[in-house]
Homo-oligomer: A and B are copies of this chain.
Amino acid sequence: MRVLVIEDFEVLARTVGTGLRREGMAVDVVLDGVEALDRLAVNRYDVVILDRDLPGVHGDEVCRRIVAARSSSRVLMLTAASTVKQRVDGLGLGADDYLPKPFDFEELVARVRALARRPALCLPTVYELGDLTLDPARRVATRAGRRLELSPKEFGVLECLLAADGRPVSAEDLLERVWDEAADPFTTVVKTTIRRLRGKLGAPELIHTVREAGYRIGQP
C-alpha cells in the first residue's frame, strides 16, 4: 500500500511516516504543497494524508487537484480545525475522510486501512461528446460505436481535451499533464500527437485549433 504524507510540521510528519512504515506501508513524506504536487504527478498513491494548513500551496488546493486529476487516491484530510462546517468543506472538496488534530495514531492507521479498502468515490466516469466516448477507468475510447485504438499519449491528450469540456488547452498544459513535467519546452510532440489523434478519430474537425491558445474539442 502506497501512502503520501503531506505535513509541514516536520516532527509530526516524520513520526507519522515512521509509524506507518512500521505498519508495512510504503510511505513518502513531503513538507509542502509544491513538492506534494510533484510527487502526485509522478507516483500513484492509494491514500494521501493531507494537512489542510500548508504553507505555499494550501491543502485545499492540493485536494482539488487530486480530484481534478481523477486520481484513484483517497484523501484523508488532517487538520487542527474541527468544526462541522470545515469538515463539510473538506469533504466537499473531494476528501474521503477527515481527522481532526490531535488524533490517536491507532485511529489514523485504522482509517488509512479503511480508505485503502474502499473504492474511491468516483466522479463522472465517462466523457461523451457527440458520438465520441471516453472511459478513463476502462481506458476505452469509442467513436460511432467503434473502438478507437489509441496509444497512451493519444489517450491522455484526448482525455485532457474532453475534461476541458470545450475550452482550449495549450500545448504547455498538455505537456505538463500527459507527459511528465520535465519536458523540453521546444518539443514538437504535442502537435505530432494531435495530428495522429485527429487521424485516428476519423473526424479531424473534432479537434479545433485555437491560434496561440491551443486545442479545443467540440462539434464542428
Contact = CB atoms under 8 A, between A and B. Distances in A.
Contacts of A65: none
A124 B212 CA distance: 23
B88 A117 contact: yes
Interface string A99-115: 00010101100110110
Contacts of A216: 138-139
A138 B117 contact: no
A107 B119 contact: no
A106 B88 contact: yes
A88 to B, nearest CB: 4
Contacts of A181: 24
Nearest to A214: B139
Interface in A118-173: 118-119, 121-125, 137-140, 151-152, 166-168
A167 B92 contact: no
Count the copies: 2
A80 interface: no
Interface residues of A, number: 40
A195 B125 CA distance: 30
Nearest to A110: B84
Interface of A: 24, 84-85, 87-88, 91-92, 97-98, 102, 104, 106-107, 110-111, 113-114, 117-119, 121-125, 137-140, 151-152, 166-168, 181, 210-213, 216
Given A114-B122, A117-B124, A138-B168, 20 more contacts: A84-B111, A84-B114, A87-B114, A88-B106, A88-B107, A88-B117, A91-B114, A91-B118, A92-B104, A97-B118, A97-B121, A98-B118, A117-B122, A137-B167, A138-B166, A138-B167, A138-B216, A139-B213, A140-B166, A152-B213
In the A-B complex, the 3 residue pairs with the smallest Cβ-Cβ separation, listed nearest first, are: A84-B110, A88-B104, A152-B212
